[in-house]
Amino acid sequence: MTERKRKRSTMNQLVLSARAGRTALSSHLAAIDVYPGQDAVLLALGADDGLSLRDLATRLSVRPPTITKTVSRLVLQGILEKRASATDARQSHAFLTEKGQALLQEVRAAQKAVEREALKGLSDKERKTLRKLLQRVERNLSAAIDDGDALEETA
């Protein structure tokens, strides 16, 4: 008796693909002693060094205590430096150290390696189409979340 392949829903396939991508990236990051979540902090500071911890939490869609804990670990590793705000004593800002800048380049290289592997065999046109379709899925889901928030506020 032959086993029939079960057809997955598009959403299920999207989740499985995203999970496989994150697992592959985590493997690359582990090789350079970067733990899950730390890469996002490095990339955010690489784009805008000196963010306040509050802004960093907002940008990464995580709770402030999570950022505080992650930043503290990165400070202990010598990857980040935390400085008090010059204008608000209640706020701290995170800055990449020299070690952090070097690690940022390794994180970016790991991302590129995983992307190359994930898109292997796809033409440039297929890659562009996939990117556009995924952007549309993201917009659709973001709009649905926003609409849900609006409905909750009126209830």
List, for residues 68-120, the tens digit of each pLDDT value.
999 999 999 999 999 998 888 888 999 999 999 999 999 999 999 999 999 99
Same domain, 70 and 16: yes
Same domain, 59 and 90: yes
User: Residue 82: how many CA atoms within 13 Å on its side-chain side?
Assistant: 20
Same domain, 92 and 149: no
**What's the pTM value of the predicted model, to 2 decimals?**
0.79
Same domain, 71 and 110: yes
Question: What's the pLDDT tens digit per position in 120-142?
Answer: 999 999 999 999 999 999 999 98
Q: Which residues contact 36 (CB under 8 A, 6 or more apart)?
A: 22, 26, 29
Same domain, 23 and 88: yes
- Residues of the domain holding 32: 12-120
Give the torsion sign (CA, 120, 125, 126, 131).
Answer: positive
Same domain, 72 and 23: yes
Number of domains in the chain: 2
